[in-house]
Structure 1
Amino acid sequence: MPPVMFSVVTKYHKGRHSLFLYNLEIFYAFTQDILRSRKLTSDPNLAVLFAILSDTLAALPTYIEVWRFPYTERAIFYGGGAFSALTSLIAAPNNNFSTIGFAIYLVILNTSLMFLIYFRQKSENNLKINF
């Protein structure tokens, strides 16, 4: 197994150090090293599962940011990401998990972010109108 690579990157979000993002970067680097290992990734389904897991944990700060500050993101960009993943599903040569698993994950991720942005912005507009 290759040595575990830890990234030492300091993130600042609105002037504050984000320990959560730093821990996610460490986990992402760790899972990338696991994916490079031949022992654990000789099974392609397990490799795709680890990739989905690490990307899900890396997407958590985006969900938190969209929930707290819905106007910092645009839903149309996530709609484009969902469309791109859907087209890769159409072009997939076969329908097994190792081929389409990550594309299905991307469709779910981008669609959920798109709807979360849309409905959070809509609820923020309703609150602004009522007050």
Structure 2
Amino acid sequence: MKLRIDTEGVGFFCTKAPEQRTAHNTGAPRLDRETGLPLWQVQVMALDSSGGEVVAITVAGQPNVVVGSPVKVEGLTALPWSQEGRSGVAFRAESIRSAGDPVAGIITPNRPASPSGGSSGPVRPAA
């Protein structure tokens, strides 16, 4: 049974780069049964007035989102599952798309390595 989730008043932020879903036994990309598009998983933080939760959402087709950016999640459903004594809830969305630039000051790009191969280390003010 698919349970539709009302996302009114919920903000979503991408917390991990999208990863393509693969079959455990073959490593082949998993495909959406209806569209034939590859399935991707996006880790997001869902934030509302009561707090936040990190959830992984599966979507058909590669989402164009980056870590730290607000995202729009449309058609979110929860799919309870039970298999071999384990159970949980899988989340699926019709689409996930960028809703703006990454949040400034929270996510910073990795620094390039110095020519010697080590990191450049922290920048310190001149004395």
- TM-score (ref. length: structure 1): 0.23
TM-score (norm 2): 0.23
Query: Which is richer in helix?
Result: 1
